Amino acid sequence: MGFLFTSESVSEGHPDKVSDQISDAILDEFLRHDPSSKVACETLCTTGLVVVAGEVRSSAYVDVQEVARRVIRRIGYTKSEYRFDCDSCGVLSAIHEQSSDIRQGVERAGEEEQGAGDQGIMFGYACSETRELMPATLILSHVILKELADIRREGEVMTYLRPDAKSQVTIEYDEQTRRPLRVHTIVVSTQHDEFILPAAGLTEQEAERSMQERIREDVRTILIPRVKARLERAHDKLAELIDDRYILHVNPTGKFVIGGPHGDTGLTGRKIIVDSYGGRGAHGGGAFSGKDPSKVDRSAAYAARHIAKNMVAAGIADEVLVELSYAIGIAEPLSVYVDTHNSKCEALASMSDGEIARRIARLFDLRPAAIVRRFGLKNPIFEATASYGHFGNRPYTKEETFYEEGRPVQREVEFFGWEKLDAVEAIKEAFGL
């Protein structure tokens, strides 16, 4: 037996993710009207209430209440019995002007010399164990919940599903090669209707046990086969990791009727490991959602992922961790660090990670303004990132609405541009591969 590693994911209806999505939807709305908006938006969700707070500097006006209700409706909180629904919940806004002290450190006469919006350390990670160059444990955790959400929206089977859910996947790895061998354990916890009630001859405990058994069997016979089929349609080898030996836990505490923001208060930025690499690599501690790209917590983390992913794709190493550090008001990063986890290709076996980092620092312009331009981070692309992870998604383009002098115009914008493998050839050339 090798070693075990576990990652978790949470659904779009998890209270923390509801908060993330509202914060990013508000950010997007500001960017539609004023691409230079500076936004730091935090959201709290609880029973019947949404509180939005933060600092904004923008020429735009955003109807915070309308945006929050639209997001909540899309997620699926549409019934009063959830004790948190899009039409009846209260929405309070406590947004105020951005600090002038912060502004003077960020803005410069020349756009390229724009300072970082804060100090901090940001990490990017990639590994060769999946086609997304992400940890298999996290990708499978996300896929399980994406499929569960599809089932809920279709409304044909498992019709008792509610929006809040969590998943967790444990994979057994080979001790020597560190390659995934098989799925060891799957945990699925999903909110649900109380669809079996106590009745004559059926106690409360028996009704609860019957619901739990039904949900467990549906997860085993409907959800997991659909997850495998989804992977197989995509010709994804992760499907082969799910055999008949895995251990399954479904709603381990019993019934899960009370959920969402009614069951647990949600806050923006409380799922940073779900958002990033599922516990692999490292994390600098800064959240992403609700922050405009002048905040390097977000933009530099995207740049670090882009570098790490392209390095793995270029064959530099099978596993790469990149750290960037910044000081508020300073454009250039203070440091660029690379850790290849002793997985470098044979051609670079004698090259130190320090030398690799120095070449990477010369190859990429890591000033905040350059990162923003490279990935189009002044576009309204962030609500899409606020559930099922910011990394491992395929880049795509679609038309979005912007407003120029109050008039709506359509423009094509790119989503998840930091996932593009557009630096592979430059990296190969820099390292003579």
Report the alpha-carbon distance of residue 283 to residue 180 in Å, rounded: 23
Nearest CA among 299, 324, 292 for reference residue 375: 299
Question: Could you tell me what percent of the chain has a pLDDT over 90?
Answer: 90
Establish how many alpha carbons lie within 13 A of residue 339's alpha carbon, considering only the half-sphere containing its beta carbon.
Answer: 10
pLDDT for 401: 93
pLDDT for 100: 60
Q: Contact 124/322 with Cβ under 8 angstroms?
A: yes
Give the global pTM: 0.95
78 Cβ neighbours under 8 A, 6+ residues apart: 85, 86, 87
pLDDT for 270: 97
Report the alpha-carbon distance of residue 46 to residue 298 in Å, rounded: 26
Q: How confident is the model at residue 368 (pLDDT cuts 50, 70, 90)?
A: very high
Other C-beta atoms closer than 10 Å to the C-beta of 67 total 21
Report the alpha-carbon distance of residue 91 to residue 52 in Å, rounded: 8
Nearest CA among 8, 10, 16 for reference residue 264: 16
Tens of pLDDT, residues 10-68: 999 999 999 999 999 999 999 999 999 999 999 999 999 999 999 999 999 999 999 99
Q: Contact 123/106 with Cβ under 8 angstroms?
A: no
- Give the sign of the dihedral formed by CA 73, CA 79, CA 85, CA 89: positive
Q: Contact 190/162 with Cβ under 8 angstroms?
A: yes
Q: How confident is the model at residue 112 (pLDDT cuts 50, 70, 90)?
A: low
